[in-house]
Amino acid sequence: MEFTYQLEDIQSVADAIIKQLTSKTLLFYGDMGSGKTTLIIALSKQLGILGNVSSPTFSIVNEYEIKDGLIYHFDLYRIKNEEEALDFGIEDYLFSDHYVFIEWPERIEHLLPEEYTKITIKSNVDGSRTLYID
């Protein structure tokens, strides 16, 4: 599936993504500034977040409450290797029954669960984004 969108359309894109999800684990790929966190904010709103969403760049993981559970939002940009992720107990999050949103998942490639939704975001010259879902 593929979407090209402008920022003002992001909530409808998030709604379309939520409707076709087959996994609660979402992996977000894209260059710095491509809109990964912005999309995660929109997805969290669609899932009924009960607070604010912020980038966990320095904390590595943020936890958000939703009506039916939790969202774990990871930003693994600062992780040096998979061992570092294991040290903070990432497997407990990955194999929970909650939503897991991971920015920079390539940093823990060998630790990822078998089932996930891969989302790749590319910035376009005209300011739009193109999103690919695998």
Per-domain boundaries in the chain? 2-133
Class of domain 2-133: alpha beta
Output the CA–CA distances (angstroms, integers) from residue 18 to 79, 106, 121, in the order listed.
Answer: 28, 23, 16
Q: Print pLDDT tens along the chain (134 aa).
A: 899 999 999 999 999 999 999 999 999 999 999 999 999 999 999 999 987 777 776 678 999 999 889 999 999 999 999 999 999 999 999 999 999 999 999 999 999 999 999 999 999 999 999 999 98
**Model confidence, pTM:** 0.93
